[in-house]
Amino acid sequence: MSLNLFDLTGKRALITGSSQGIGFALARGLAAAGAEIVLNGRDADKLATAAEVLRGEGCTIHELAFDATDHTAVRAAVDGFEAETGAIDILVNNAGMQHRAPLEEFPADAFERLLQTNVASVFHVGQACANHMIKRGAGKIVNICSVQTALARPGIAPYTATKGAVANLTKGMATDWAKHGLQCNGLAPGYFDTPLNKALVDDPDFTDWLSKRTPAGRWGNVDELVGTCIFLSSAASSFVNGTTVFVDGGITASL
């Protein structure tokens, strides 16, 4: 098998929520594989800072600030970019949020924000990009799921529900769009050291529990997600559709 299957030269990838954390790491990784990168976030200043870092590393970067939960804004941004700059060949739906509270006390407004940020954004951006990909007969969509796609922990039941929904929406995308030449798959990180997990990373008791619970015995490094994302974004996965790949140090495999 040729390594050219993993080459993203000539491709353009939009990664939502990519000014920090997993999204930023995936942007850097896809750029290293040859792709042009379209960074996205709601905070234009954070986006500009992230873009400056990647440009300093020699990456070709575009900035596209929009709120992934706003259907109208998403369509305007994606359609405008396609018309003015060119095709979005790869979409990584990474935008997400967390809120921790006992389920019996979980605030209703926080539940709604989780639904909009973690699920509705995948629909909005996925549909907007797919409408262009379908016309071209090709496209890659990678939806960022979670270890909580398959498992639950106390205090995050609504988050778990949203990530389960993302995996099933991924199956639906593949079912509807595979016939148009699109491959739509999920990438499910385990526990990674990111800003979203800062409260857990800073908790020595949780880190001790995680180290014992995970067969690999440690937190994941965000760079360890890059290889799977390149695979799902490249010709190497041309007949992979509707599946979710867990990158979790073995946590979903063991009791």
Residue 146: which H helix or E strand, with range?
Answer: none
The first and second tokens of residue 58, run together, are 């020699």
The reply to whether 159 belongs to the active site is yes
How far is the CA of 243 from the CAs of 127, 166, 174, in angstroms?
18, 11, 9
**How does strand 139-144 pair with strand 36-41?**
unpaired
How far is the CA of 144 from the CAs of 41, 101, 157, 159, 169, in angstroms?
15, 23, 18, 13, 11
Of 24, 66, 111, 159, which is the active-site residue? 159
215 in Cβ contact with 253 (< 8 Å): yes
Residue length, the chain?
255
CA dihedral sign, ordered 143, 146, 152, 158: negative
The first and second tokens of residue 172, run together, are 């639906």
Q: State the Cα–Cα distance between residues 63 and 183, nearest whole angstrom.
A: 25
Give the alpha-carbon dihedral of 35, 187, 68, 220, to 10 degrees.
Answer: -90
Q: Which residues are catalytic?
A: 159
